[in-house]
Structure 1
Amino acid sequence: MNLLSSLSPATAGRAPSRPLAGVIPLALLALAAALSGCAGMAPRDAALPDTPVPTAWAAGTTAAPGSAATSLAQWWQRLGDPQLTALVEQSLTANTSVRTAQAALRQARAQVDVQAAGLAPQVGASASAQRSRSGNSGAGNNFQLGFDASWEPDVFGRVRAGVNASEADARAAEASLADVQVSLAAEVAVNYIELRGLQQRLVIARSNLASQSETLQITQWRLQAGLTTSLVAEQARAASEQTAAQIPALEASLAQSRHSLAVLTGQAPAALDAQLAASVAVPQPGDELAMAIPAETLRQRPDVRAAEQRITAALARVSQADAARYPDFGISGSVGLRALTLGALSGGSAVAASLLGSISVPLLDGGAARAQVRAQEASLEQARIAYQAAVLTALKDVEDALVSLRGNRERLVRLRSAADAAGNAELLARQRYSSGLIDFQSVLETQRTLLSTQEGVATTVASLSADHVRLYKALGGGWQPQ
């Protein structure tokens, strides 16, 4: 229902017509009913959902009271590997996921400007020229030139709530970009560590293959001298072939790791083959890590920040749906020139101006407005639950990384001790077998044990380094919003 009043030079000062005077009381009653219905809406709680957050980590070291936690900004530099640092930094600029998140952020920020434009008056210009003819009458011209302006005062905050929602969406997109960058840096580091670990395992396999080949040669000499049996020679050859079979599998895994790193850095799969061909030790960070308390960790996790901003956006959309049940006000006007000839446009009689005020009151909509409020309230509840899930997942990520880190540290100590003993045993066994003091079965068992323990050490060293990376990621990566 609209109430319209116009003002022009021809109608200024004239009293309202009788029909319009009869409509005004009815419209005012409808407006009062709408306002009373909207005034009963209860305000929404803007507080974050209650989520249990411990005061300290169940496992691991927390920064001492009064001391600052270790800065995790650009944590990949703590691994002390320049090549890894270069790969991470390249991925942060060239990776397709990062570029997609950056485009989403630009889109969200542009949407804020779109929503904010609704708070300002809208001004436009128009011009037209018309030539028409009817029946036997002569042709006539009509020329118009003017400016139009309109403005909808945001009396009940509907447009402002939309702006607030868009701003929260933009902040959530910014946090999502940071989350993509943190996850990408961790993925590059884990793939790089896996690559270096595979290279170490390949070195171990080739070293053991050389040792087993030497043992196989000794066995064949003893067989020719009649000092051993064909069974022993075949066992030696089987052990050597089993070790040799591991090498193609390791080489294939190495190639796949290089391909993954190349794609993560925005390059073709084979682009890093030459750069990463040389075998390098697995990078290892230092153990000096003072961790922040759980509450501080949650504040620096970008995924938690994004979930928080989505609650803010959902809350603003509830307010927007509420405000849509209130009346809308509008003011518009125009000023221009209208004449039958171009020359007459410059005369004072060609000036035409109008001013229009309007009120639009929703009366019967079949319950759509209330249903829209309920829909936005349900969306708000989903955002709150998603926030709780993000917090719990963040806490679990840190605890899992700490447990894995502690377990692999203890395992590595034992495996290194076992590898030293296995190396000594294998050397003694080969020497005694060459002298004919022991049978080949003892040599075979010591060589298998040596290969197993050395592979275990190499695998655990890589796992330990990857655990640090996962811990850095779980702690938020030290990323700061741009």
Structure 2
Amino acid sequence: MTRALGGLAVALALAGCIGPRPVAPAATAVVAPPAWRTAFGPDAPIRADWWNAFGDPVLTDLVSRALANNPDLGAAAARVEEARATERLARAQLSPSVSAGLPASEARALNAFGTATSNVAAQPSITASYDPDLFGRLRNASAAARAQLLASEGARDVVRLGLASSVATGYITLRALDARLAVARDTLAARGDGLRIARRRAETGYTSNLELHQAEGEYRATEQLIPQAQLAITRQEDALSLLLGDNPRAIPRGVALTALTLPPIPEGLPADLLRRRPDLYQAEQTLVAADRSLDSARAALLPNVALTGSAGVILTTALANPVGVFSLGGSVLSPLFDGGRLRASADAATARRDQAAYAYRRAAISAFRDVDDSLAGVQRSGQQAVAIRGQRDALAAALRNASNRYRAGYSSYLDQLDTQRGLLTAELALVQANSDRLTSYVLVYQAMGGGWTEADIAAVRR
């Protein structure tokens, strides 16, 4: 299979800008181009209908149920809502703050004639304050919160993508266990026939009890494979139920393992499809958030200008008419000596930005590795399955010959026994190879960010 995937020029260009850091580079030097961010975004669907390509509606239904009910996905969605509230809070800092008050007081005094007088005063007022954010401290903090929100959406979609892949892999594993159980039962039936023949031959004195005991031993060895497979099936069903958000229960079955269709993989999948990978999007937005946080930390080193104003009236029993009050003022605060706290905060933000840049580079490289590994798995597991299938067919023919020779008395039971063992091993290995091959297609789906359609491929090739 051709593994022509082009190149992630954006990711590699970003990777090339990361090096030794004697001085922090400009904030915009490591931000990915807007086209990379907006090509798909966090709302790119994790399609459950892509699994229709396997030709099993039960698989598609299980993936859909997991995406609707899984508790981990619900928790990830709640973290997105928390990040959205944090972003609104940061954005609110850019707006003026308005407050109202109604302080009142009462004073009692004695006049010269010894008579008590009471003086009641009230001062309703409205106070407004506004930070013009001349150096971008608040704007960068708001932009950082926005990027963190997008990163949390990417993290949610990482969970969605991993969940869909885990359900598909778990279902394939379940069907493989069903196939192993079927192989064990068929082998047990065949060895039961051999055991009856060996017992009849031993009872008639045609052979010794050695062959009888050997046949019985092989029958018991195969018999223990059945509860072992049934236990594995139960555990796999429970694991799938957990992914579906259900209590442990039986999982419905669709087509057999060998009847599952292999989704077609076009030659030369474009590497731009990797833009849909939510882990890349999350790493990128984490980098953007760290970059904006660095700008905000640098702006904190500069003077902070604040404007305040208030308006109100004074109502008092000592005056015939109310008195209007209005004030407008401003303040400029600049750190003179803080023991290096602000500078240390800016240095920490620089280090976090560089960590995010390295993490983004690693995510891009890991994306290429995942695609390469999954495509190689599709190719090599297919070749392995073909080879094992040939071995199985050869051993099945050999077993027929050995059985006929044994019944005719031309060979010992040991020849048939060895061939039976080899055939059982080959059949179980073929089940595993078919399962591995189907799982490799699931890994391709996950590596490419959630499957693909012809429209997706055409869109990124334009």
Query: Corresponding residue for 1:369?
Result: 342
In structure 1, the gaps of 5 or more residues are: 1-39, 50-70
Contact kept in structure 1, 2:58 and 2:253, CA below 8 Å:
no
Whether the 8 Å CA contact 1:200–1:279 is kept in 2: the answer is no
**When the two structures are superposed, what TM-score results if normalisation uses the length of structure 1?**
0.80
1:284 is displaced (CA, Å) by 3.0
- Check the 8 A contact 2:27/2:292 in 1, yes or no: no
**Given the alignment of the two structures, is residue 208 of structure 1 paired with residue 181 of structure 2, yes or no?**
no
Residue 367 of structure 1: how far off its partner (Å): 1.4
- Paired residue type of 2:178: Q
* Correspondence for 1:243: 222
3-state secondary structure, aligned to 1:267: coil
- Structure 1 partner of 2:241: 262
TM-score (norm 2): 0.84
CA distance in 2 between counterparts of 1:464 and 1:359 reads: 68
Q: Is the 8 A contact 1:72 1:472 kept in 2?
A: no
Q: 2:266 aligned with 1:293, yes or no?
A: no
Please name the residue that 1:441 is paired with.
414
Q: Which residue of 1 aligns with 2:67?
A: 92
Task: State the match for 1:112 in structure 2.
Answer: 87
Seen in structure 2, the aligned counterparts of structure 1 residues 318 and 151 have a Cα distance that, compared at 3 Å, is: same
Structure 2 residue corresponding to 1:190, chosen from 169, 179, 185: 169
Percent identical among aligned pairs is: 32
State the 1:465 CA deviation: 0.3
Give the CA deviation at 1:298: 3.3
Using the TM superposition, give the Cα deviation of residue 41 of structure 1 relative to its aligned residue in structure 2, in angstroms. 9.1
Pick one of 374, 380, 385 that aligns with 1:412.
Answer: 385
RMSD across aligned C-alpha pairs, in angstroms?
2.5
RCO comparison, higher one (Cα < 8 Å, 6+): 1
Partner of 1:46: helix, strand, or coil? helix
Deviations 1:8-42 (A, max 9, x none): xxxxxxxxxxxxxxxxxxxxxxxxxxxxxxxx997
Q: Which residue identity lines up with residue 317 of structure 1 in the other structure?
A: S
Q: SS state of the match for residue 141, structure 1?
A: strand
Structural mapping, 1:18-417, within 5 Å: 43-47=26-30, 73-74=47-48, 75-131=50-106, 140-270=119-249, 273=250, 275-276=251-252, 280-281=256-257, 283-294=260-271, 296-340=272-316, 348-417=321-390
1:289 offset after TM fit, Å?
2.9
User: How far apart are the structure 2 equivalents of 1:132 and 1:259?
Assistant: 76
Deviations 1:71-94 (A, max 9, x none): 995432211211111111111121
SS state of the match for residue 428, structure 1?
helix
The 3 A distance-change label for structure 1 pair 326 and 134 is farther
Decide which structure has the larger Cα Rg and report it.
1
> In structure 2, what is the Cα distance between the partners aligned to 1:327 and 1:72?
47
Distance 1:372 1:301 in 2: 32
- Taking the aligned partners of 1:266 and 1:309, their CA distance within structure 2 comes to 30
1:34 counterpart residue number: none
Conserved 8 A contact 2:155-2:278: yes
Equivalent-residue separation in structure 2 for 1:240 and 1:301 (angstroms): 50
Q: Which moved more, 1:180-189 or 1:470-479?
A: 470-479
Paired with 2:324 and 2:73, the residues of 1 have a C-alpha distance of: 56
Q: Which runs of 5 or more structure 2 residues have no equivalent in the other structure? A: 1-22, 33-44, 457-462
In 1, Cα distance between equivalents of 2:253 and 2:293: 54
Paired with 1:208 and 1:140, the residues of 2 have a C-alpha distance of 105
